[in-house]
Amino acid sequence: MQQLRDILYGVNLIQVIGSTDVAIEAIVFDSRKATANTVFVAIKGFTVDGHNYISKAIELGCTSIICEAIPTETSEGVNYIQVKDSHQALALMANNFYDEPSKKLTLVGITGTNGKTTCTTLLHKLFTQLGYKVGLLSTVVNKIGDKEIPSTHTTPDAVGLNALLAQMVEEGCTHCFMEVSSHAIHQHRTTGLDFKVGGFTNITHDHLDYHKTFKEYINVKKSFFDHLSKEAFAITNLDDKNGAVMLQNTKAKKLSYSLKSVSDFKAKVLENQFTGLVLNMNGTELWSRLIGDFNAYNLLLVYAIAITLEEDELEVLTQLSTLESVDGRFQYTKSESGIIAIVDYAHTPDALANVLGTINNIRTKNETVFTVVGCGGDRDKTKRPLMAGIACENSDKVVITSDNPRTENPETIIEEMMTGVEGQHYKKTLSITNRKEAIKTAISMAQPNDIILIAGKGHETYQEINGVKHDFDDMAITKELFKKLDK
């Protein structure tokens, strides 16, 4: 049990009605989880206002409420603490409640539109191989050492986040590598954390449903660096148009990486094939199994962070060259007959164009490029025709199929995708609703050296149809089909 007054340390208080001398067992921000020994933080959300649920929390026995506005009718025996910003209060309280776990390990945060999962996962693998027990907070999975904890968000909520960091500390982790999403920065999920390193990958148009303008999206990402301490390191990508802007107002020690301009950490792509990359990494040759130009940036940022954290350069380079691709991120496999398959999580028009751009960059012009792609149900419908159009423009043959139909009719989704296929592209397009059949068909049509991109589901291990998650793993299915083919 902790005293409420102690966990309010650093929070901008406006007024206290009642007392802060109360023992607290947990912080909750969902009234449904409130009990007698919890403090309920009322948050104005996008769907509802948590302030409307204060009375519900009290009904469940809660006697301490943090809010931005004191209710007009207050209850006897309840402590109301008015704060300027509930989101911020929640994060600072969570930090205090768990005794500032971020200060007890080396916390590294990666932000940017693309590459966060890849870089944090590579860092987790690298530091594990360097002999440390380390934590990972990512879109795909959270990890404490090798122990996996399912992940629901790219960046967990402030309470869950500090709880996981505390668990990492307790279980002996020396470092934690985490993805910092723009939503998380905006919602103060990472406020108050003591980052030792902040890394920036890149920024392109994304999440504009949330951030409204690109300028606002840039400013939100930049505010992560604005809040780093002067003891921290901020590492940016100078090849990104907005890379320098990110560090404009940071107090942290500024570092940069680039493939194209003068910077603290430099790399050059010497070879870029489906078998991997050969890079000149700050003067030393490095072979990597990761594929595509963009992975040169990811490897360079990972290297820069390891060197900044004073790891031995030779050891870092040796271990880096053993790392394999991250699940569902440009993941490569090849049949015995020589058909290449790439599984990638690209589920937006921009990501699909990027992945196909990378494939077309590496291919020699003799092979056929197949794309197997679908779009998720109950999600943005405007992307459907765009993704089909992009698949057709950038590949030789396209199999339009299902992703996670969720509650929608998969055939309707496919029809909507097909509206984006222009007349001259019809003859290269097939539609097969069953995703496994679609992959099988592409494989049956492919010749040795042809390339099949299976896009949209990446690391996902299920296909959600009408509320039921059926086992489904693009890579496992592809390998199984390859095996049958090779028999």
Ligand X SMILES: Nc1ncnc2c1ncn2[C@@H]1O[C@H](COP(=O)(O)OP(=O)(O)OP(=O)(O)O)[C@@H](O)[C@H]1O
Select from 120, 111, 118 the least CA-distant residue to 224.
111
Name beta bridge partners: 455.
Answer: 344, 373
In the 8-state DSSP scheme, what is residue 14?
Answer: E
What is the rounded radius of gyration, in angstroms, for the C-alpha atoms of the chain? 24
Handedness of CA 47, 52, 58, 59 (dihedral sign): negative
In the 3-class helix/strand/coil scheme, how is 30-50 assigned residue by residue?
Answer: CHHHCCCCEEEECCECCCCEH
- Report the distance separating Cα 69 and Cα 86, nearest Å: 10
In the 3-class helix/strand/coil scheme, how is 170-197 assigned residue by residue? Answer: HCCCCEEEEECCHHHHHCCCCCCCCEEE
Output the known binding site for meso-2,6-diaminopimelate: 379, 403-406, 456, 460
Number of residues lying near ligand X (CB under 6 A):
21
Residue 403 lies near ligand API (rule: CB under 6 A)? yes
| Residue selected from 139, 263, 358, 441 as contacting Mg ion according to rule CB under 5 A | 139
Query: Does residue number 217 form part of the binding site for ligand X (CB under 6 A)?
Result: no
Q: Provide the CB-side half-sphere exposure for 195 (13 A, CA).
A: 27
Stretch in the footprint of ligand UAG (CB under 6 A) among 148-156, 277-285, 374-382, 418-426: 148-156
3-state secondary structure of 144: strand
User: Using the rule CB under 6 A, is 404 a contact of ligand API?
Assistant: yes
Chain centroid offset of residue 192 CA: 20
Alpha helices in 182-277 (DSSP H): 182-186, 208-211, 214-226, 243-246
The annotation places the binding site at: 31, 112-118, 154-155, 181, 187, 189, 379, 403-406, 456, 460
Contact (CB, 8 A) for 36 and 63: yes
Say which entry of ligand API, ligand X, Mg ion, none residue 346 contacts (CB below 5 to 8 A, set by partner kind).
ligand X
- For the annotated binding site for ATP, the residues are 112-118
Residue 45 binds: one of Mg ion, ligand UAG, ligand X, none (C-beta under 5 to 8 A by kind) = ligand UAG
Q: Could you give the string, one character per residue 279-298, with x where binding to ligand X holds by CB under 6 A and - elsewhere?
A: ---------------x--xx
Of 196, 383, 440, 457, the one binding ligand API by CB under 6 A? 457
Q: Which does 367 bind (CB under 5 to 8 A by kind): ligand API, ligand UAG, ligand X, none?
A: none
Single residue of 178, 232, 255, 346 touching ligand X by CB under 6 A: 346
> What are the CA-CA distances from residue 328 to residues 295, 333, 473 (Å)?
14, 11, 10
Q: Mask of contacts with ligand X, 113-132, x by CB under 6 A?
A: -xxxxx--------------
Among 74, 129, 167, 202, binds ligand X (CB under 6 A): 202
Q: Whose Cβ is closer to ligand UAG: residue 35's or residue 322's?
A: 35
Q: Is 209 in the site for ligand UAG (CB under 6 A)?
A: no
Residue 227's alpha-carbon distances to 46, 101, 138, 246, in angstroms, are 25, 18, 21, 11
Task: Name, in order, each residue with C-beta under 8 angstroms of 395's C-beta and a sequence gap of 6 or more.
Answer: 356, 369, 370, 371, 428, 453
Question: Is 376 near ligand API (CB under 6 A)?
Answer: yes
According to CB under 6 A, which one of 7, 11, 53, 168 is a site residue for ligand UAG?
53
Give the nearest distance from C-beta 178 to ligand UAG in angstroms.
10
Chain centroid to Cα 347, Å, comes to: 13
Q: Which residues contact 427 (CB under 8 A, 6 or more apart)?
A: none
Contact between 456 and ligand API per CB under 6 A: yes
- Would you say 139 or 395 has its CB closer to Mg ion? 139
The item of ligand API, ligand X, ligand UAG, none sharing an interface with residue 258, based on CB under 5 to 8 Å by kind, is none
Minimum CB distance to ligand UAG smaller for 53 or for 127: 53
Backbone angles phi, psi at 281, to 5 degrees: -105, 105
- Give the nearest distance from C-beta 479 to Mg ion in angstroms: 24
Helix (H) or strand (E) holding 392: helix 383-394
Q: Using the rule CB under 6 A, is 211 a contact of ligand API?
A: no
236 binds, among ligand UAG, ligand API, ligand X, none (CB under 5 to 8 A by kind): none
Q: What are phi and psi of 358, to 5 degrees?
A: -65, -45
User: Based on CB atoms, which residue is closest to ligand X, 188 or 459?
Assistant: 459
- Residue 63 partner contact from ligand X, ligand API, ligand UAG, none using kind-dependent CB cut-offs of 5 to 8 Å: none
- Cα 156 to the chain's mean position, in Å? 11
Distance CA 387, CA 351 (A): 9
Q: Does 344 bind ligand UAG (CB under 6 A)?
A: no
Interface with ligand UAG (CB under 6 A), residue from 106, 114, 142, 154: 154
CA distance 263 to 240: 13
User: Of residues 63, 79, 201, 321, which one binds ligand X by CB under 6 A?
Assistant: 201
**Footprint of ligand UAG (CB under 6 A):** 29-32, 43, 45-48, 50, 53, 153-155, 157, 181, 183-184
**Footprint of ligand API (CB under 6 A):** 347, 376, 379, 403-404, 456-457, 460
**Footprint of Mg ion (CB under 5 A):** 116-117, 139, 154
